[in-house]
Amino acid sequence: MRNEKTKICFILPPGFRSGGPDAETGRILKAVMRMRFPEHAHDMCDLRENTASRDSVPNDCAAGVFLIYPDGMWPHDMFQTAKTIRLCGGTLYEIRRNGVMRKILKLPPPEKVLSLGDTSRRYWIANGIPRPYGGVGNSFS
């Protein structure tokens, strides 16, 4: 039996919450993904950037769909996950909150990848309260 890659992984950045307005956005983006990849509609997985690692990428991951920060910056671990998927032969896509999706032909340059510290600063306020998605406000396209 061949080991075929079947999963489409949806990778979310820190600050994107399961509840509230982000939950509805997440449902809409997943619907867009199901329309774009109908053959994978029942085989999708979610990876959160802060838990995603080389070991958490499923072996049968055919593609990664990344919701990067609105200003085009990549959280550090999300970039590492993208590299892992690419090295394993998977295809990479970027999806925006408005549902626009595009294939990522090459990984972002180093200046578009946040350090671990900068990723953390985008997500956490000094007193430990999480910031909104992106760390700089709520109105993103």
Q: What is the average pLDDT across 27-54?
A: 72
Task: Report the alpha-carbon distance of residue 48 to residue 115 in Å, rounded.
Answer: 17
Q: Which of 6-10, 39-43, 48-52, 90-94 has the lowest mean pLDDT?
A: 48-52
Q: Are 96 and 104 in contact (CB under 8 A)?
A: no
Domain extent listing, the chain? 7-123
Residue 105 has pLDDT above 90, yes or no: yes
| pTM value surpassing 0.85 | no
Looking at residue 115, its amino acid is S
Task: Report the alpha-carbon distance of residue 110 to residue 87 in Å, rounded.
Answer: 18
Q: Are 134 and 109 in contact (CB under 8 A)?
A: no
**Arithmetic mean of pLDDT over the chain:** 76
Q: What is the average pLDDT across 80-84?
A: 89
Task: Report the alpha-carbon distance of residue 110 to residue 59 in Å, rounded.
Answer: 26
Question: 7-123 domain in CATH 3.40.120?
Answer: no
